[in-house]
């Protein structure tokens, strides 16, 4: 019984002690001083600055240390995550240096009147405000290893697809103006086919030194145009072709008294270098004849009397194969040697279908232009037998004096060509002349 009373008495004493401690803490000694360090300073008004094409490029401090005094119960509510330090830059309207007061804001759960700021490491933050600038730069390639490419391969720099070709940079004026050129390096020495790849962009100053842009500067590129390290990149399509030198030739058809051995030719270019995918270039062997690309055929009978002909041939290449120097036509000059064009006199003129009962008179000699080897022409001029003229009179049944076309026939000289296939023959068709009658015959 005595023990139970003693236990009750002890519990009452403990409760009284706790109540007394709470009274002392909350009533007798309510104030507690403590420090809160490294509270970040938040600069308000950045959106307003951007609308004015301004940006904060520097500040002298980024955090504030506070010495506070408040009721003990408030201590747990006050720390660097719940206390805000604000500096308002919304009134800044032009570039320059500005000193902004640091305003302290406590959480909603603690009234400002309950907290006494005993000390503050800084009262102001000094900021530097710069003008924002937009500028476009052409992205210039720097091809490495061109001289080391295989001799049969061509890197077609003129037709590289570069996406984008220009880039827009947006940032502080003093930073943007440092940029002199925007370039990228790419090594093409080992390329043997067309590829798609990426290249990292570099920003260079006027001395060619690379510039590291700050986070305040924006590079206007799609989101997928940055490397894992955050470096800006562009997309490239790099055309690489296999090349080949192809000799050119033309063919001849003999005729007009001219043989193949009499003809020679000169081309505006004796060969062309072509480019294309490897499979297209390798397939050229199927269309080449003895290694030559045949441009066309010339009929030797069409060569004029001057023994020289200028002719143009279209350059026709298989799909996917192109001339490197972009020719579309090849000029040719054809020369004939050992060939003469002469006039010979023909006396063998034959009249066909002479109307019955009529007499005829016609031209006895005509000149005919022929062509052939110099030796054959010399021989036929001395003996033109085998070449004659036919004149057909079938349409004439009455006396007439007329000029008719005569067909020149070459019967015995296959190596000779008739330049003129017809000649004009004067023909007189008249009744037969009656013979004189003597008196004795009467």
Instruction: State the pLDDT at residue 382.
Output: 84
What torsion, rounded to 10 degrees, do the Cα atoms 354, 358, 359, 364 define? -30
Work out the average pLDDT over 196-207. 95
326 or 391: which carries more pLDDT confidence?
391
Give, in degrees to the nearest 5, the angle at Cα 99 between 94 and 104.
120
Contact of 260 with 303, CB cutoff 8 Å: no
261 contacts: CB under 8 Å, gap ≥ 6: 338
Label residue 381 by pLDDT band (50, 70, 90). Answer: confident
Q: Convert the pLDDT of each residue in 150-173 to its tens digit.
A: 889 999 998 999 999 999 999 999
In the chain, % helix, strand, coil (3-state, to 5) comes to 20, 50, 35
CATH number of 132-238: 2.170.120.40, 3.90.1150.10, 3.40.50.300, 2.40.10.10? 2.170.120.40
Residue 92 to residue 207: CA distance in whole angstroms: 35
Backbone angles phi, psi at 328, to 5 degrees: -120, -15
440 or 421: which carries more pLDDT confidence?
421
- What tokens were used for 109? 């759960």
Instruction: State the pLDDT at residue 235.
Output: 96
- Within the chain, which residue ranges are assigned CATH 2.170.120.30? 341-430
Residue 89 to residue 51: CA distance in whole angstroms: 13
- What tokens were used for 42? 């938040």
SS3 419: coil
For 51, other C-beta atoms within 10 Å of its C-beta total 8
Label residue 416 by pLDDT band (50, 70, 90). Answer: confident
Backbone angles phi, psi at 124, to 5 degrees: -135, 155
Contact of 182 with 210, CB cutoff 8 Å: no
Supply the DSSP symbol for 432.
P
At the topology level, CATH places domain 341-430 in RNA Polymerase Alpha Subunit; Chain A, domain 2 (2.170.120)
pLDDT above 50 (res 112):
yes
Label residue 338 by pLDDT band (50, 70, 90). Answer: confident
pLDDT above 90 (res 387):
yes
Average pLDDT across the chain, whole number = 89
Strand partners, 220: 168
pLDDT above 70 (res 176):
yes
- Within the chain, which residue ranges are assigned CATH 2.170.120.40? 132-238, 245-337
Work out the average pLDDT over 250-260. 88
Short-list 238, 268, 233, CA closest to 250: 268
Label residue 116 by pLDDT band (50, 70, 90). Answer: very high
Q: Convert the pLDDT of each residue in 118-150 to its tens digit.
A: 999 999 999 999 999 999 999 999 999 999 998
H or E segment and range at residue 428:
strand 422-430
- What tokens were used for 393? 């009179």
Work out the average pLDDT over 296-312. 88
pLDDT above 70 (res 441):
no
Short-list 208, 397, 374, 393, CA closest to 407: 393
275 or 6: which carries more pLDDT confidence?
275
Instruction: State the pLDDT at residue 28.
Output: 46
16 or 225: which carries more pLDDT confidence?
225
Instruction: State the pLDDT at residue 128.
Output: 95
Instruction: State the pLDDT at residue 440.
Output: 56
Dihedral-angle region of residue 386 (phi above 0 means left; psi in -120 to 50 means alpha; beta otherwise):
left
Instruction: State the pLDDT at residue 348.
Output: 93
52 or 23: which carries more pLDDT confidence?
52
Residue 289 to residue 187: CA distance in whole angstroms: 38
Instruction: State the pLDDT at residue 144.
Output: 96
Instruction: State the pLDDT at residue 56.
Output: 93
Contact of 107 with 83, CB cutoff 8 Å: yes
Label residue 435 by pLDDT band (50, 70, 90). Answer: low
224 or 121: which carries more pLDDT confidence?
121
Give buried/exposed letters for 201-229 (b at 16+ CB in 10 A, else e): bbbbeeeeeeeebeeebebeeeeebeeee
pTM here?
0.61
Label residue 442 by pLDDT band (50, 70, 90). Answer: very low
- What tokens were used for 365? 């000699």
For 316, other C-beta atoms within 10 Å of its C-beta total 11
How far are the Cα atoms of 284, 295, 316, 427 from residue 319, in angstroms, in the given order?
Answer: 11, 16, 9, 62
CATH number of 24-122: 1.10.10, 3.90.25, 2.170.120, 1.10.357? 2.170.120
- The domain 245-337: what is its CATH number? 2.170.120.40
Strands (DSSP E) found in 324-421: 329-336, 339-346, 349-352, 359-362, 366-373, 387-392, 400-410, 417-418
The radius of gyration of the chain's CA atoms, rounded to the nearest angstrom, is 54
Instruction: State the pLDDT at residue 255.
Output: 81
Give, in degrees to the nearest 5, the angle at Cα 143 between 137 and 144.
140
Residue 221 to residue 237: CA distance in whole angstroms: 18
Instruction: State the pLDDT at residue 45.
Output: 93
């Amino acid at each position: 019984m005595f023990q139970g009373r003693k236990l009750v008495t002890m519990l009452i004493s403990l409760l009284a002690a706790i109540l007394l401690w709470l009274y002392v803490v909350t009533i007798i000694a309510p104030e507690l001083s403590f420090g809160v360090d490294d509270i970040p300073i938040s600069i308000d008004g950045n959106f307003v600055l951007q609308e004015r094409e301004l940006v904060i490029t520097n500040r002298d401090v980024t955090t504030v240390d506070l010495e506070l005094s408040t009721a003990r119960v408030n201590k747990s509510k006050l720390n660097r995550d719940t206390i805000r330090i604000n500096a308002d830059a919304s009134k800044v309207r032009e570039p320059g240096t500005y000193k902004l007061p640091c305003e302290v804001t406590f959480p909603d759960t603690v009234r400002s009147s309950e907290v006494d700021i005993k000390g503050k490491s800084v009262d102001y933050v000094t900021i530097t405000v710069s003008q924002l600038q937009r500028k476009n730069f052409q992205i210039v390639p720097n091809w490495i290893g061109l001289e080391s490419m295989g001799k049969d391969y061509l890197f077609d720099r003129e037709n590289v697809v570069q996406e984008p070709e220009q880039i827009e940079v947006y940032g502080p004026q003093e930073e943007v103006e440092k940029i002199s050129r925007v370039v990228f390096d790419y090594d093409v020495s080992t390329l043997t086919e067309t590829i798609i790849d990426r290249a990292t962009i570099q920003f260079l100053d006027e001395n060619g030194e690379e510039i590291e842009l700050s986070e305040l500067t924006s590079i206007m590129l799609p989101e997928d145009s940055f490397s894992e390290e955050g470096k800006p990149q562009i997309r490239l399509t790099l055309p690489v072709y296999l090349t080949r030198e192809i000799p050119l030739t033309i063919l001849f058809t003999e005729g007009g008294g001219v043989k193949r051995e009499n003809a020679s030719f000169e081309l505006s270019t004796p060969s062309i270098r072509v480019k294309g995918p490897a499979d297209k270039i390798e397939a050229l062997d199927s269309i080449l004849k003895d290694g030559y690309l045949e441009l066309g055929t010339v009929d030797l009978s069409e060569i004029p009397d001057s023994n020289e002909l200028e002719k143009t041939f279209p350059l026709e290449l298989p799909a996917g194969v192109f001339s490197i120097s972009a020719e579309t036509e090849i000029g040719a000059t054809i020369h004939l040697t050992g060939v003469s064009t002469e006039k010979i006199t023909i006396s063998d003129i034959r009249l066909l279908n002479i109307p019955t009962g009529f007499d005829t008179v016609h031209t006895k000699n005509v000149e005919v232009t022929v062509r052939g080897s110099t030796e054959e022409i010399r021989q036929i001029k001395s003996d033109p037998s085998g070449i004659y003229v036919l004149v057909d009179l079938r349409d004439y049944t009455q006396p007439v004096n007329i000029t008719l076309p005569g067909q020149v026939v070459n019967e015995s000289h296959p190596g000779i060509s008739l330049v003129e296939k017809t000649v004009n023959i004067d023909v007189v068709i008249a009744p037969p002349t009656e013979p004189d009658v003597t008196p004795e015959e009467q």
